[in-house]
Amino acid sequence: MMRIDQLLAHATQIDSPTAQLDAELLLAHVLDKPRSYLLAWPEKTLSEAQAAAFMALLERRQRGEPVAYLLGQQGFWTLDLQVAEHTLIPRADTELLVEAALQLADASSPLRVLDLGTGTGAIALALASERPQWAVTGVDRIESAVALAQSNQQQLQLSNVQFLSSHWFSALIGQRYDLILSNPPYIADTDPHLQQGDLRFEPLSALVSGADGLDDLRLIIAQAPAYLSAKGWLMLEHGFDQASAVRALLQQAGFIEVNSQRDLGGHERISFGCLPS
């Protein structure tokens, strides 16, 4: 029989700056209890099966698998989202895109909003939860991502959002939106970061976009005006060193009021612009 504190001592096996936290999250998950339970009951013993389940997760974490995939969930904005190997794990940086969008219009304006490459549905669901008057559509090229986003929607019981399968705008011909957002893939395909940390386990289709990482951003920016209403906004997440390139692309495509905002790390992480009236 193993006690909670004895099992948590195995955290030192994990090669991660957050090893202790990671181990606590995994053990709390196995016990289906909040993390505070572990600290309150360090002497409680686990069943053989529980201890074995924890050690198996610990070993996978030791091999580098992201905690979010091991738990099957990740917090984003105010929401708990299910995640899976075929989608990007939602990042705190992307909440910046949500904040910027919420500043565009007050709660009473009934905007039509599109999230391109929605993955878990994170951006679309966060906006739908904050703005019941908005009609939000999230699209993804990967069918299993669409199914996951729909499952998140059902769990959160949000009725003002729909998810469908579309490669960027391919299934949206003739539609117009007041706001289009995207956190597209934007990493250069030779970037060494792809061999580090969580990125090693996330789908390349959600991360990588050509030699300079800008292929999908170029495509989205070029096509977006045909799907935006007059004065409609396009808001994009991009790499820490891509802001000036993205602003130039927005200006070339006819966007005005083009600007960028910094993330928590101080890097220009999102850029946006709107169409003239």
- Applying CB under 6 A, the residues found at the interface with ligand GLN are 88, 91, 93, 183, 185-187, 199, 207
Tell me how far, at minimum, the Cβ of 20 lies from ligand GLN, in Å.
23
Tell me how far, at minimum, the Cβ of 212 lies from ligand GLN, in Å.
13
Which residue number, 24 or 118, has a Cβ lying nearer to ligand GLN? 118
Which residue number, 30 or 100, has a Cβ lying nearer to ligand GLN? 100
DSSP E strands: which ranges in 97-246? 112-116, 135-140, 161-165, 177-182, 228-237
Which residue number, 94 or 153, has a Cβ lying nearer to ligand GLN? 94
Which residue number, 22 or 237, has a Cβ lying nearer to ligand GLN? 237
DSSP 42: T
- What's the CA gap between 80 and 73, in Å, rounded? 7
- What's the CA gap between 143 and 212, in Å, rounded? 27
Tell me how far, at minimum, the Cβ of 190 lies from ligand GLN, in Å.
14
Tell me how far, at minimum, the Cβ of 101 lies from ligand GLN, in Å.
16
Pairing status of strand 135-140 against strand 112-116: parallel
Tell me how far, at minimum, the Cβ of 196 lies from ligand GLN, in Å.
9
Tell me how far, at minimum, the Cβ of 228 lies from ligand GLN, in Å.
21
Contact predicate 175/139, CB 8 Å: no
Which residue number, 107 or 264, has a Cβ lying nearer to ligand GLN? 264
Which residue number, 7 or 89, has a Cβ lying nearer to ligand GLN? 89
Q: Which amino acid is at 247?
A: R
Contact predicate 16/22, CB 8 Å: yes
Nearest Cα neighbor of 194 from 202, 67, 168, 83 is 202
Which residues, other chains included, contact 118 with Cβ-Cβ below 8 Å and sequence gap of 6+? 124, 138, 139, 140, 145, 146, 149, 163
